[in-house]
Protein backbone atom coordinates (compact mmCIF):
# COMPACT_ATOMS: atom_id res chain seq x y z
CA UNK A 1 0.00 0.00 0.00
CA UNK A 2 1.38 3.46 -0.90
CA UNK A 3 1.73 6.23 1.66
CA UNK A 4 -1.15 8.05 0.01
CA UNK A 5 -3.33 4.93 0.17
CA UNK A 6 -2.41 4.50 3.85
CA UNK A 7 -3.51 8.07 4.49
CA UNK A 8 -6.81 7.60 2.64
CA UNK A 9 -7.37 4.28 4.42
CA UNK A 10 -6.76 5.88 7.80
CA UNK A 11 -9.30 8.58 7.00
CA UNK A 12 -12.01 6.19 5.88
CA UNK A 13 -11.55 3.86 8.86
CA UNK A 14 -12.43 6.52 11.42
CA UNK A 15 -15.48 5.86 13.52
CA UNK A 16 -17.35 7.97 15.99
CA UNK A 17 -15.33 6.29 18.76
CA UNK A 18 -11.92 6.69 17.12
CA UNK A 19 -12.30 10.11 15.56
CA UNK A 20 -11.35 12.28 18.57
CA UNK A 21 -8.07 10.43 19.14
CA UNK A 22 -7.32 10.50 15.41
CA UNK A 23 -8.09 14.22 15.17
CA UNK A 24 -5.88 15.07 18.15
CA UNK A 25 -2.91 13.26 16.59
CA UNK A 26 -3.55 14.52 13.07
CA UNK A 27 -4.24 18.16 13.96
CA UNK A 28 -1.26 18.25 16.32
CA UNK A 29 1.09 16.94 13.64
CA UNK A 30 -0.37 19.26 11.02
CA UNK A 31 -0.07 22.31 13.25
CA UNK A 32 3.52 21.41 14.17
CA UNK A 33 4.52 21.17 10.51
CA UNK A 34 2.80 24.41 9.51
CA UNK A 35 4.49 26.26 12.39
CA UNK A 36 7.86 25.09 11.07
CA UNK A 37 6.93 26.19 7.55
CA UNK A 38 5.74 29.61 8.69
CA UNK A 39 8.61 30.23 11.11
CA UNK A 40 11.25 29.07 8.65
CA UNK A 41 10.57 28.51 4.97
CA UNK A 42 10.17 25.88 2.29
CA UNK A 43 13.82 24.83 2.63
CA UNK A 44 12.84 23.23 5.95
CA UNK A 45 10.92 20.73 3.81
CA UNK A 46 13.57 19.76 1.30
CA UNK A 47 14.87 16.22 1.41
CA UNK A 48 13.75 12.62 1.42
CA UNK A 49 10.25 11.98 2.69
CA UNK A 50 11.47 9.50 5.33
CA UNK A 51 14.15 11.90 6.56
CA UNK A 52 11.64 14.73 6.93
CA UNK A 53 9.19 12.56 8.87
CA UNK A 54 12.01 11.49 11.16
CA UNK A 55 13.38 15.03 11.52
CA UNK A 56 10.01 16.40 12.64
CA UNK A 57 9.07 13.26 14.60
CA UNK A 58 5.89 12.82 12.57
CA UNK A 59 4.36 9.48 11.66
CA UNK A 60 4.77 8.93 7.90
CA UNK A 61 1.01 8.75 7.39
CA UNK A 62 0.62 12.22 8.95
CA UNK A 63 3.52 13.60 6.91
CA UNK A 64 1.63 12.35 3.84
CA UNK A 65 -1.53 14.00 5.16
CA UNK A 66 0.35 17.31 5.45
CA UNK A 67 1.65 17.01 1.88
CA UNK A 68 -1.78 16.01 0.60
CA UNK A 69 -3.31 19.03 2.30
CA UNK A 70 -0.75 21.57 1.15
CA UNK A 71 -0.32 20.41 -2.43
CA UNK A 72 -3.08 22.58 -3.91
CA UNK A 73 -1.38 25.61 -2.34
CA UNK A 74 1.96 24.91 -4.00
CA UNK A 75 3.27 26.62 -7.10
CA UNK A 76 4.08 23.13 -8.42
CA UNK A 77 1.63 20.61 -6.92
CA UNK A 78 3.03 17.30 -5.73
CA UNK A 79 1.93 13.99 -7.18
CA UNK A 80 0.99 12.73 -3.72
CA UNK A 81 -0.25 9.39 -5.03
CA UNK A 82 3.32 8.58 -6.13
CA UNK A 83 5.25 9.67 -3.04
CA UNK A 84 7.24 6.97 -1.27
CA UNK A 85 9.55 7.09 1.73
CA UNK A 86 12.45 7.49 -0.72
CA UNK A 87 10.88 10.40 -2.64
CA UNK A 88 12.63 13.74 -2.75
CA UNK A 89 10.38 16.49 -1.42
CA UNK A 90 10.65 20.17 -2.27
CA UNK A 91 7.94 22.75 -1.61
CA UNK A 92 7.32 26.09 -3.30
CA UNK A 93 4.42 27.58 -1.36
CA UNK A 94 1.98 30.23 -2.52
CA UNK A 95 1.32 31.63 0.97
CA UNK A 96 -1.68 33.73 -0.06
CA UNK A 97 -3.35 30.71 -1.60
CA UNK A 98 -2.44 28.60 1.44
CA UNK A 99 -3.98 31.13 3.82
CA UNK A 100 -7.15 31.24 1.69
CA UNK A 101 -7.32 27.44 1.51
CA UNK A 102 -6.99 27.18 5.29
CA UNK A 103 -10.08 29.34 5.63
CA UNK A 104 -11.84 27.28 2.98
CA UNK A 105 -10.99 24.13 4.97
CA UNK A 106 -12.35 25.76 8.13
CA UNK A 107 -9.02 25.22 9.89
CA UNK A 108 -8.66 27.96 12.52
CA UNK A 109 -5.99 25.87 14.26
CA UNK A 110 -3.89 26.61 11.17
CA UNK A 111 -4.90 30.07 9.93
CA UNK A 112 -4.63 31.48 13.46
CA UNK A 113 -0.99 30.44 13.92
CA UNK A 114 0.80 33.63 14.97
CA UNK A 115 3.76 32.88 12.68
CA UNK A 116 1.61 33.89 9.68
CA UNK A 117 2.94 37.38 10.42
CA UNK A 118 6.27 36.12 9.03
CA UNK A 119 4.70 35.50 5.62
CA UNK A 120 1.78 37.90 5.17
CA UNK A 121 0.98 41.40 6.41
CA UNK A 122 -2.07 41.96 8.59
CA UNK A 123 -3.65 43.88 5.69
CA UNK A 124 -3.04 41.00 3.26
CA UNK A 125 -4.51 38.46 5.71
CA UNK A 126 -7.57 40.67 6.17
CA UNK A 127 -7.94 41.04 2.40
CA UNK A 128 -7.76 37.26 1.92
CA UNK A 129 -10.30 36.67 4.70
CA UNK A 130 -12.71 39.12 3.00
CA UNK A 131 -12.16 37.42 -0.36
CA UNK A 132 -12.92 34.04 1.24
CA UNK A 133 -16.10 35.35 2.90
CA UNK A 134 -17.27 36.95 -0.35
CA UNK A 135 -16.73 33.71 -2.29
CA UNK A 136 -18.47 31.73 0.44
CA UNK A 137 -21.46 34.09 0.35
CA UNK A 138 -21.68 33.91 -3.44
CA UNK A 139 -21.63 30.10 -3.30
CA UNK A 140 -24.30 30.05 -0.60
CA UNK A 141 -26.55 32.40 -2.60
CA UNK A 142 -26.02 30.36 -5.77
CA UNK A 143 -26.81 27.10 -3.97
CA UNK A 144 -29.88 28.66 -2.36
CA UNK A 145 -31.17 29.79 -5.78
CA UNK A 146 -30.54 26.33 -7.22
CA UNK A 147 -32.41 24.71 -4.33
CA UNK A 148 -35.37 27.06 -4.75
CA UNK A 149 -35.40 26.40 -8.48
CA UNK A 150 -35.32 22.63 -7.92
CA UNK A 151 -38.14 22.78 -5.38
CA UNK A 152 -40.27 24.83 -7.81
CA UNK A 153 -39.68 22.27 -10.57
CA UNK A 154 -40.84 19.46 -8.29
CA UNK A 155 -44.23 21.11 -7.75
Residue pair 100/136 in contact by the 8 Å Cβ criterion: no
CB burial class (10 A; 0-12, 13-18, 19+) of residue 37? buried
Q: At residue 134, does pLDDT exceed 50? A: yes
- Residue 81's pLDDT is 96
98 vs 34: CA distance, rounded Å:
10
- Residue 136 — pLDDT band, cuts 50, 70, 90? confident
Note the pLDDT of residue 102.
Answer: 95
Burial class (CB in 10 A: 0-12, 13-18, 19+), 13: exposed
Residue 104 has pLDDT above 50, yes or no: yes
Mean pLDDT of 78-95: 96
CB 85 within 8 A of CB 60: yes
Q: pLDDT digits over 9-42, tens only?
A: 999 999 999 999 999 999 999 999 999 999 998 8
pLDDT of res. 19: 93
Q: What is the pTM of this model?
A: 0.85
Amino acid sequence: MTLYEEWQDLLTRQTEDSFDDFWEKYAGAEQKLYKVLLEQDEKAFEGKFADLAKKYEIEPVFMMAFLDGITESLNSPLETENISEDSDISLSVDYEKLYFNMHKANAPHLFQISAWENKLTADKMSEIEKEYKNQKNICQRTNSKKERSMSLRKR
